Each structure stands twice: as C-alpha cells, then as structure tokens.
Structure 1
Amino acid sequence: MRLMGMDVGSRTVGISVSDQLGWTAQGVEIVPINEDEEIFGIERVKELVKEYDVVGFVLGLPKNMNNTEGPRVEAARNYGKLLEETFGLPIDFQDERLTTVEAERMLIEQADTSRSKRKKVIDKLAASLILENYLNGHGKLIDRLK
C-alpha cells in the first residue's frame, strides 16, 4: 500500500508514490492533461493506482507566497474532488510553495540538466518533493500505510 503524490498543472500532472513504509517518495511519470478540454488523465491514473496499490492521494496546494489562494489552488482542489469521486480514496493537500523552484534548482545544480531535459522531468520531481514533504510532516494519510 502506498500514497500517491501529485503536482497538478493545467497541462500535466506529475505523479510520485511513496514506498510501502511511507519513508520515501519516488517520481513515477508525468501524465498529460488538458483542463480546457476537460481531459484529466484519469484512465492512466487508474492504471497507476492499481499498479502501486494506492490507498490515498496527496496533492500539492500551490498557495501564493502571502498564503492566499489563487486560481491554481481551486484547480488542485477540483482535481482532488475528481479523484475522491472516482476512486473513493481519501485525499489530502500539501503546501507546495517553491517545490517547482526547488526541483529546478536541484536539476540545474546537482544534475546539470539542460532546459529541454528539465521540462521532461520537473513535474515528476516536484510531485516527489510534495509527497516527501508530506511524509516528513507526518500527514494524516500516513496511518493508511500500516
């Protein structure tokens, strides 16, 4: 049993999963979506939920730096609601401020990754950071792993 972390954008969803003990998070893939056309990648998420025996979702909540909520927060909450309705599994949110910035810095400084390569993995890495932060903060869904 694992938790699935998600970095929800308007065009992609970065996906990560925890290990079975809830100690670490690993990036899995980036699922293409299109909010404008109401294509949310749910079929692929279903496959991943089954493959990884997911028991709950942790979505990044992209609050503004002053802690206010903008339109992307609403989009993340709506995606969470869709997941809850589709899978009947619990969801929780993790403040994701600066995770994409941190992910990009890691890719530049530690992996010396080119811009084109960064675009291919940044959402997956951001999803890993979101889930890792959640696990380290002992979020309420961690008990579902036991």
Structure 2
Amino acid sequence: MPKTVLAFDFGLKRIGVAIGNTLVRQAQPLTVITAATNDAKFEAIAVLLKEWQPACCVVGLPSHPDGTEHEMTVRCRRFANQLNGRFGVPTVLVDERYSSAVIPQQRGETIDAEAAAIILQQYFNDYAES
C-alpha cells in the first residue's frame, strides 16, 4: 500500500513543502508556507497534514560542508521535533548540505518548494525502504 510523505525545507521566513509517495518514489513541489507567526505556520501545516494524511514527514537538516552543525541545524531539529510532538507524525531528518547546489539560482518563493522536493527525492533515493 503506497504511503504519502511530506517534506519540509524549513526557513525562518518561508517553509517549502513537497509531496511524494512510497510507490512512485517521485517528489514534487507542493507549496510554500509564508505565515508570519509560528502558530500560523503550524496551522498551515495542520491543514496540509489533514489533507494529505502522510505516513511520515521529512525535514531537511542543514549543516556546514564538513558536517558540523550551525544555528539553522538546531532550528531544523527543533522544527522536526515540533512536527512530531504536535501532530504525532513520524519525522525523519535528511542531510540537505548540497540540495541548494542542484537548484538553478533564481528568485522567488517557488525555490523553497523545489528545495523541499530535492530533500524528499534524496529521502526516497537514500533512506526510504524499497
């Protein structure tokens, strides 16, 4: 039975969201959350979780090229813990160190959803069970 997976590219201003399933294992950009407050961001996430009923969520985990953590690493871990704690959905962290290098440089919000799709595709390629 195919399971839906949602992925998040967490940022302080925007959160990119992508979707895929375990049968096709193909990620695609879904939306970008631009709410001003944390509560509003989590309300938007709650709507997506209710609509798509994912089996798990994937969160991109940034770090320095050598793997050491920085401020956004800590924030992304916290975000993943909040997703799991608030909604009870299993959450997986995926190394996103090189995901932005694959996206053509562009402006605008769509890049956040595309980054989430790259993170989710990496999850399907490297982490998900066949």
TM-score (structure 1 length as normaliser) = 0.79
Shift of 1:131: 0.3
* Identity score, percent: 26
Distance 1:39 1:102 in 2: 31
Distance 2:26 2:121 in 1: 6
Give the counterpart of 2:109 among 112, 120, 129.
120
Shift of 1:13: 0.6
Please list every run of at least 4 consecutive aligned residues from structure 1 whose deviation after the TM superposition is greater than 2 angstroms. 37-40
Larger radius of gyration: 1
Distance 2:40 2:101 in 1: 24
Q: 1:1-146 maps to which residues of 2 (within 5 A)?
A: 1-21=3-23, 23-34=25-36, 38-39=38-39, 41-103=41-103, 105=104, 115=106, 118-139=107-128, 142=129
Aligned Cα root-mean-square deviation (Å): 1.8
**Equivalent position amino acid for 1:92 in 2:** V
Secondary structure of the 1:41 match is: helix
Shift of 1:20: 5.0
Moved more, 13-22 or 49-58: 13-22
TM-score (structure 2 length as normaliser) = 0.88
Distance 1:50 1:130 in 2: 22
**Equivalent position amino acid for 1:131 in 2:** L
Aligned residue pair count = 128
Secondary structure of the 1:54 match is: coil
**Equivalent position amino acid for 1:75 in 2:** R
Note the residue ranges of structure 1 that are not aligned, 5 or more in a row.
109-114
**Equivalent position amino acid for 1:137 in 2:** D
Shift of 1:101: 2.8
Note the residue ranges of structure 2 that are not aligned, 5 or more in a row.
none
